[in-house]
Amino acid sequence: MGKIATLPIAEIFHSIQGEGKLIGVPSVFIRLAGCPLRCPWCDTQYAWDLSKASRFSIDQILEKTALLPARYVVVTGGEPMIHSAVGRLTKSLSNAGYHVTIETSGVIYRKVQCDLLSLSPKLPSTLPDVKTYRPAVLRKLIADHREYQVKFVVANESHVREALELLDEHDLFDRRNVMLMPQSSAFSHYRRHAGKIARLAQKYDLRFSPRLHLELQIK
């Protein structure tokens, strides 16, 4: 008999989707551990360390998910695409009837079955030591998925201009699916800066995504 695939889980919890197109939708979040990017503003640093995660089979993950009252599931991280079994997880969740979102930075391509591909490519200037913006990978990912969104995490106007340059240079995305999100990991910072990012979104005619979980101070 083959070895049962397991995935390292940082946490599984029930909350309200705080970002993007499905903002406000009650959802189960399956947070896979491990991320090679190490963004300085990361608000889930506790998920970086694989050695602290518990490993669960896909059946066990489905069992834990089924205990929580939501039809929407978000597979997130960390960076879930580092795990070869992530495609099997999303397929199993879809087969179980869930609406599945996968959150990824878009640095690794994998075939995954989901209802919403949620990309959060990192601006090259914010992580200069890593090749964070990979147009070939992003192109393959969005070719697989009818529904997608692209969230650029920005802190200032030069970040917005950099995002626009990438959008113009590579012409990968339908602009209606692109949004700006304030770079914040704490409510106090978010409260001071979200309005500025919203005004930049207005200025450059891009969609703004709030971060509702920070505003509400919930997980």
Contact by Cβ (8 Å): 4, 57: yes
Site for ligand SF4 contains 92 (CB under 6 A): no
Site for ligand SF4 contains 118 (CB under 6 A): no
Q: Give CA–CA dist 109/117, Å, rounded.
A: 12
Binding ligand SF4 (rule: CB under 6 A), the pick from 105, 118, 183, 209 is 105
* Among the residue ranges 38-46, 67-75, 171-179, 190-198, the one whose residues contact ligand SF4 (CB under 6 A): 38-46
Site for ligand SF4 contains 170 (CB under 6 A): no
Contact by Cβ (8 Å): 163, 123: yes
Contact by Cβ (8 Å): 16, 212: yes
Please name the residue that has the structure tokens 């597979």: 75
Q: How far is CA 76 from the centre of its chain?
A: 6
Site for ligand SF4 contains 38 (CB under 6 A): yes
* Among the residue ranges 30-38, 82-90, 165-173, 191-199, the one whose residues contact ligand SF4 (CB under 6 A): 30-38
The CA-atom distances, in angstroms, between 199 and each of 48, 97, 168, 181, 208 are: 33, 39, 21, 12, 9
Site residues (CB under 6 A) for ligand SF4, limited to 64-83: 77-79
Site for ligand SF4 contains 126 (CB under 6 A): no
Q: Which is nearer to ligand SF4, 35 or 163 (CB)?
A: 35
Kindly state the tokens that stand for 64. Answer: 């834990």
State the residues that interact with ligand SF4 by CB under 6 A: 35, 37-39, 42, 44, 77-79, 105
